[in-house]
Structure 1
Amino acid sequence: MSLHRKGRAALVLALVAVVAMAFRVSWNALRDIAGAVGADATAATLYPFVVDGLMALALVATLVLADDARRFALRVLGAYTIASLILNYVHGLVPELHGRTVDWSRLAEWDPANWALVLLATSLPVGSIYFGSDLVAKVLHHRPTPARELVDGQRADTSAPLPHTPLPDAVHEVPTASKPPVSALVNGRADAVQTPDPHTPHPVRTPDAESTDDALRQAQFEEAELERMRQDARRAYAESAQAGRPLSARALGEAFGMSESWGRKQILAVRDEEEQLRPRLRAVDTAAV
């Protein structure tokens, strides 16, 4: 195991230890609060898992989800964090809650504040059922995006230009619909260039050269897959437009696991192609006729 992986593993273990200790501290306060609002011994023991457990679930969901679903998970995490903080604060203000020496329905002397605190404490379990089920459903239906990411975090529609020898000019003159896959062109060109000469010794391929060739083939394969995805998305939008129900940019992007901006680019490409194919009228000079 490398030093970098050891550092990451140590960081994760330290985080788990801190979270476990923080949960133990919060568990004491939430258990007393649950007992003060009428929960029995078993329910009061399980109550902290309902509140802080959903916080842990929402935290995991934020690491898996993206876009709107991730923002929803962050809102759930923030709301339950604030609720747990309020209940822990009330427990600190009323230390008699630990000994169960106060009236079970009195968390504050002012009636409106007491009603609000009781409503908060009793509504958190119901909210955990609703929000927890929604988060699990979003995680189970989440599909990771297959597109590669640029350094600045934006999704790449096209790959970076390849180093070394470019493709011949004749390839660029072939229409897109009849153009063969880029990987086949590169492999065919590589076979033509690397045809061995019977009068020359075979070159010795080093591991670095083989890894470079593998990376080149992988890049060409990914580019071909992205191009195929773009063509499929444009075809899907054109068919929906012909049916009278054109897809929106957001719906088109989500259907292919991409962003809304990516879907908007494909829609604009379809419209540009339709504009080029549309016949143009020319003015006729009647005087010359």
Structure 2
Amino acid sequence: MNGKGRIALVLALVAVVGMAFRVSWNALRDIAGAVGADGTAATLYPFVVDGLMALALVATLVLVDRDRSFALKVLGTYTAASLVLNYVHGLVPALHGRGVEWGRLADWDPANWVLVLLATSLPVGSIYFGSDLVAKVLHHRPAPDPTPIANAEESTKTEMIRSTADLPESVPAPVAVPVVRVPDPVPADAGKSSIILKPVPILAAPVGQAPTKSIVRPSMAAESTRPRRTTYRVPDAAKTPRTRRTADQLMSEARTVTADWPDAQITGEGLRRALRTSPANARKLRDALLAERTA
């Protein structure tokens, strides 16, 4: 539907609602006068009932979830109340000329009590429910539209594709140039500073250019007074001799260690760790100990 059609539809709806309100206004005004309202209050009474219906209808279009259900309940309740009062106005002709007794809307007392209670409680309900609906509408925060996020992701993906297509040829990896290291010269005088030649690393040149030669620059370095570590092999004579145990000594130690061991715990690996001996000796000791226990 185009813009003109929508405007025409809205104007027609406003006209119909206005005429319906005028019809209902006549009945509600007479009802208000019958329950004790003065002329001004009776004139404003229809706005209290039917006006809250319009407010609840607008709230249902704005609110969501539980708040929307509450607005629908208010709309339905006041619509039903307005319908009942209009129906009573049609049943009691004396209300048209305001010749009915005050506080008397029906001949049957229980029905009259209910109708008077309904007519007098609607203004109070309009104050409470109207304020609540306005507060809910003012504090309502609409959910964010997911469309901009989707468009942003799409545009980002497009930019990535474009940037990938516009990239130049890949840059080849730089060629590593070996650095020649010159050994440090032996200092001439102890305790004095000497000149030590150290290599300066040069970055590799791009493909297509000749690599730059590494330049060896002299640098001043003070000779360290800390003694150097020994790098030659220590002779066997300088090592601490290791005592070798005989078979009897090993057997004696094995009996002492395994005195409290059960048979299942006497294994070659367990003896090897406890006595710090070779696997072959450990197996021999195991067999001998088990044989002694069996005998």
Aligned runs of 1:25-174 on 2, under 5 Å? 25-148=23-146
Aligned to 1:190: 162
How far, CA to CA, are the matches of 2:2 and 2:74 in structure 1? 33
CA offset digits 1:75-100 (Å, max 9, x no partner): 00000000000000000000211211
Identity rate, percent: 75
Count of residue pairs the alignment pairs up = 166
Aligned to 1:19: 17
User: Judging changes above 3 Å, is the alpha-carbon distance between structure 1 residues 185 and 32 closer, same or farther for their aligned structure 2 residues?
Assistant: same
AA paired with 1:62? T
Q: Which has the higher contact order (CA 8 A, sep 6+)?
A: 1
Shift of 1:53: 0.2
User: Judging changes above 3 Å, is the alpha-carbon distance between structure 1 residues 194 and 21 closer, same or farther for their aligned structure 2 residues?
Assistant: farther
Shift of 1:10: 1.1
User: Structure 2-normalised TM-score?
Assistant: 0.53
CA offset digits 1:135-179 (Å, max 9, x no partner): 000000111111448xxxxxxxx96xx9xxxxxxxxxxxxxxxxx
How far, CA to CA, are the matches of 1:55 and 1:100 in structure 2? 26
How far, CA to CA, are the matches of 1:112 and 1:183 in structure 2? 70
How far, CA to CA, are the matches of 1:194 and 1:122 in structure 2? 77
AA paired with 2:142? P
How far, CA to CA, are the matches of 1:92 and 1:194 in structure 2? 81
Shift of 1:131: 0.2
Q: Which has the larger radius of gyration?
A: 2
Shift of 1:184: 4.1
Shift of 1:195: 7.0
Shift of 1:194: 5.3
Aligned to 1:10: 8
AA paired with 2:18? A
How far, CA to CA, are the matches of 1:59 and 1:93 in structure 2? 29
AA paired with 1:36? A
How far, CA to CA, are the matches of 1:100 and 1:42 in structure 2? 15
How far, CA to CA, are the matches of 1:190 and 1:144 in structure 2? 35
AA paired with 1:186? T
Any idea what SS the aligned residue of 1:99 has?
Answer: coil
Structure 2 segments unaligned to the other structure (5+ residues): 169-295
How far, CA to CA, are the matches of 1:119 and 1:127 in structure 2? 12
Structure 1 segments unaligned to the other structure (5+ residues): 150-157, 163-180, 197-289
How far, CA to CA, are the matches of 1:96 and 1:140 in structure 2? 44
- Once superposed, what is the RMSD of the aligned Cα atoms? 2.2
User: Structure 1-normalised TM-score?
Assistant: 0.54
How far, CA to CA, are the matches of 2:167 and 2:3 in structure 1? 43
CA offset digits 1:213-269 (Å, max 9, x no partner): xxxxxxxxxxxxxxxxxxxxxxxxxxxxxxxxxxxxxxxxxxxxxxxxxxxxxxxxx
How far, CA to CA, are the matches of 1:62 and 1:77 in structure 2? 9
Shift of 1:188: 2.8
Aligned to 2:262: none
How far, CA to CA, are the matches of 1:29 and 1:35 in structure 2? 10
AA paired with 2:52? L
Any idea what SS the aligned residue of 1:107 has?
Answer: coil
AA paired with 2:14? V
How far, CA to CA, are the matches of 1:194 and 1:36 in structure 2? 84
Shift of 1:62: 0.7
